[in-house]
Amino acid sequence: MGVLDHLSEYFDCSSHGSKHKKRKQLQTVELKIRIDCEGCERKVKRALEGMKGVKQVDVDRKANKATVVGYVEPSKVVARVTHRTGKKAELWPYVPYDVVAHPYAPGVYDKKAPAGYVRKADDPNVYQLARASSTEVRYTTAFSDENPAACAVM
């Protein structure tokens, strides 16, 4: 809060001791919704644009993704789309391929994910997969192009 907001709490005569309503943060909510045609796209876009606090709505039919920017809560956005359109909606479960250490691990790889994306994995066991031991690292770096003292057997 700024200095003026802080001082206005002490000198405010109009609101007899009522607390200020906490403002929502501007955030981006990404949803996964099955969008088959232009009609579905229009229906989803209209349902989201009608929400209070929404500033911008982008619908990507090819990726089955809707992006909402505004002063909204993610759970309310999902509920609104589900109620208004009758379509199953969920928060965007994918992250870019480059972010994940092991994109082909069983808990992460998803055939239905759009190109360049894999499923978001919060399970710590997935990150423990495929860790190389020190002997494996020694053998692989012995023939690496990045190692200047590497053996160049062809």
Mean pLDDT of the 26-41 span? 91
**56 compared with 17, residue with greater pLDDT:** 56
Sheet (strand 27-33) strand order: 54-60, 65-70, 27-33, 89-91
* pLDDT surpassing 90 at residue 66: yes
DSSP bridge pairs for 28: 69
User: Of 39-43, 76-80, 96-100, 138-142, where does mean pLDDT reach its minimum?
Assistant: 138-142
Give the global pTM: 0.60
Mean pLDDT of the 49-65 span? 91
Angstrom distance (rounded) from CA 66 to CA 60: 6
